C-alpha cells in the first residue's frame, strides 16, 4: 500500500506503516518517553505535542518570531485532494488548541511555504495558474515501480499576505520553480528551477529580482536552506555518474520526473562556491537544515535500512562527522526545523496515526 506526501515540490511515495493506536488526548499534553508520540531513545525531545490529527501534514516551518507555523496539508476526508498551504499560531499552554487557516488559493497543488521576515507575508510554490485541478500523479508502473517524484512544470513561486491574497508572482519562467526558503538575514531567497533544462539551485531577491544560478552539476539540487548567518546553504542532491545513471536521469527529467532514491547532503557558500558533499551514506539522505548555532545540521535518511524504510532524523557536525540518530519512529520522521531561538523543534511523522497512512506535525522542546 502506498500514498503520496508532498516533499517540497515533489511527490514523495512512502510505504504504509502500522504504528501504535491514535491517542489524541496524549497529543495535547506533555508526554513521557514510551508513549505513542515520544519513543525511547529520543533524548533530545521533551514535552512533545502533536499539533495535527489526520491526513498528510508536512513541512511545518517557523515564522521569524517563532510564534507561527506554516505547512502543507492533504486530507481527502476534508475535501483537500492535494497539498494546500495552512498557517496557525503555535499553542502556548496545554489547553490551547492549534487552529490553522488556509492561506493558499485552494486550487492546484502547492508546496514549500515559508514566512517572510516581516511576518505579514509568505511565499509558496503552486500549480494553480496551470490548472485549478490537482495535477496528475505519475504512474510508477511505467517506470518499473521506481520511486519517482513529479516535477510539475506549472509550479511557480508566489508571494502572498497572511490572509491568503497573492501580491506578487515571483517566478514566470517556463518549467518547474519551487522549493524556496528565505535567508535568516532577510535578503535572499534560494529555490530550485528547471529553467536551464536541469534541476539547479538559484537565488533571488525577496521581490524576485536579480536571479542567479548557483549550482551547475548534472543532477537534482533541491530543498536548500541558508545557514543562520546567511553565509552558507545546505541542500539535497543527486549526482548521476555512470552512463546508465545519466541516461536514466535524463530520460526521467524529459518526462518531468526524478527518482530520489540516491541523494546526499551538500553544503556550499551562499553564492554556490566551494560545494562539498557532507554525507556519503547512499540511499536517500535529504531534508537537511542547520542548527541555530550553525555548527551542526539535521537531515532525514533511510540509510540504516535495507528495505528503504523507516526514515529517521539525524544530527551531525557541519563537516559530516559524528552522525547521531535523534528520532525512532518505525515509519517516517522528516522535515525538521528549529525555532529561531533554538529552544524547540518541529517535524512531521507517521507516529501515533492509529495504523493509518497519516503524517502529522509534532513540536517538542529541544534538549541539548
* Cα distance between residue 259 and residue 145, in whole Å: 11
User: 345: pLDDT confidence band, cut at 50, 70 and 90?
Assistant: very high
Q: Which residues contact 9 (CB under 8 A, 6 or more apart)?
A: 111, 112, 125, 151, 155, 176, 178, 179, 192, 222
Per the listing, cell 535567508 goes with 183
Distance between CA atoms of 163 and 62, rounded to whole angstroms? Answer: 17
Rounded Cα gap, residues 200 and 219, in angstroms: 8
What is the percent of the chain with per-residue pLDDT over 90, rounded to a whole number? 85
Separation CA 69–CA 1 (nearest Å): 30
Q: Name the strand (E) or helix (H) holding 276.
A: strand 276-277
Q: Retrieve residue 94's grid coordinates.
A: 496545554
- Residue 263 DSSP one-character state: B
Q: Under DSSP, is residue 240 helix (H, G, I), strand (E, B) or coil?
A: coil
Cα–Cα dist 114/182, whole Å? 7
Q: DSSP letter at 282? A: -
Kindly state the percentage of the chain with pLDDT values over 70.
90
pLDDT score at 7 = 52
Peptide bond into 230 cis (omega under 30): no
Instruction: Cell numbers for 3, please give them.
Output: 500514498
Q: Give pLDDT, residue 15.
A: 38
Residue 188 has pLDDT above 80, yes or no: yes
Q: pLDDT per residue over 205-221, tens digit each?
A: 999 999 999 999 999 99
Structural domain for 26, as ranges: 2-366
Backbone angles phi, psi at 280, to 5 degrees: -145, 60
Q: In which band, very low, low, confident or very high, does the pLDDT at 201 lie, cut at 50, 70 and 90?
A: very high
Kindly report the CATH number assigned to the domain that includes residue 8. Answer: 2.120.10.30
Task: Calculate the average pLDDT of the chain.
Answer: 91
Split into its structural domains, the chain has a count of 1
pLDDT the model gives residue 308: 81
Q: Report pLDDT digits (tens) over 236-267.
A: 999 999 999 999 999 999 999 999 889 999 99
Which residues are paired to 325 by β-bridges? Answer: 314
Band of the pLDDT at 8, cuts 50, 70, 90?
A: low
Q: Which residues pair with 201 in a beta bridge?
A: 192
The enclosing H or E element of 254 equals helix 243-254
Task: Return the sign of the alpha-carbon dihedral for residues 125, 127, 128, 132.
Answer: negative
**pLDDT tens for each residue of 92-120:** 999 999 999 999 999 999 999 999 999 99
The model carries a pTM of 0.92
Amino acid at each position: 500500500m502506498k500514498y503520496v506526501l508532498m516533499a517540497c515540490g515533489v511527490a514523495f511515495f512512502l510505504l504504509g506503516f502500522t504504528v501504535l493506536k491514535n491517542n489524541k488526548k496524549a497529543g495535547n499534553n506533555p508526554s513521557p518517553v514510551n508513549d505513542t508520540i515520544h519513543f525511547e531513545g529520543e533524548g533530545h525531545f521533551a514535552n512533545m505535542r502533536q499539533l495535527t490529527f489526520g491526513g498528510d501534514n508536512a513541512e511545518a516551518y517557523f515564522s521569524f518570531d517563532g510564534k507561527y507555523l506554516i505547512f502543507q496539508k492533504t486530507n481527502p476526508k476534508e475535501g483537500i485532494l492535494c497539498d494546500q498551504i495552512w498557517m496557525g499560531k503555535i499553542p502556548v499552554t496545554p489547553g490551547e488548541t492549534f487552529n490553522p487557516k488556509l492561506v493558499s488559493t485552494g486550487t492546484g497543488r502547492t508546496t514549500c511555504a515559508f514566512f517572510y521576515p516581516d511576518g505579514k507575508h509568505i511565499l509558496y510554490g503552486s500549480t494553480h495558474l496551470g490548472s485549478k485541478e490537482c495535477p496528475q500523479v505519475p504512474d510508477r508502473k511505467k517506470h518499473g515501480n521506481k520511486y519517482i517524484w513529479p516535477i510539475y512544470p506549472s509550479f511557480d513561486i508566489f508571494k502572498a499576505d497572511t490572509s491568503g491574497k497573492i501580491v506578487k508572482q515571483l517566478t514566470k519562467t517556463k518549467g518547474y520553480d519551487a522549493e524556496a526558503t528565505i535567508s535568516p538575514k532577510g535578503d535572499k531567497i534560494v529555490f530550485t528551477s528547471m529553467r536551464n533544462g536541469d534541476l539547479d539551485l538559484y537565488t533571488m531577491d525577496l521581490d524576485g529580482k536579480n536571479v542567479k544560478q548557483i549550482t551547475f552539476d548534472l543532477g537534482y539540487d533541491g530543498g536548500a536552506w541558508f545557514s543562520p548567518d546567511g553565509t552558507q546553504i545546505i541542500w539535497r542532491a543527486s549526482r548521476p555518474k555512470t552512463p546508465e545513471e545519466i541516461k536514466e536521469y535524463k530520460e526521467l527529467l524529459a518526462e518531468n520526473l526524478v527518482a530520489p532514491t540516491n541523494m546526499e547532503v551538500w553544503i556550499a557558500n551562499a553564492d554556490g562556491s566551494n560545494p562539498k558533499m557532507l554525507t556519503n551514506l547512499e540511499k536517500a539522505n535529504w531534508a537537511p537544515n542547520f542548527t541555530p548555532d550553525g555548527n551542526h545540521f539535521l537531515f532525514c535518511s533511510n540509510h540504516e535500512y535495507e528495505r528503504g524504510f523507516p526514515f529517521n532524523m539525524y544530527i551531525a557536525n557541519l563537516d559530516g562527522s559524528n552522525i547521531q540518530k535523534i528520532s525512532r519512529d518505525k515509519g517516517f520522521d522528516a522535515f525538521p526545523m528549529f525555532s529561531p531561538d533554538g529552544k524547540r523543534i518541529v517535524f512531521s511523522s507517521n507516529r501515533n496515526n492509529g495504523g493509518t497512512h497519516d503524517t502529522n506535525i509534532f513540536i517538542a522542546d529541544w534538549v541539548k
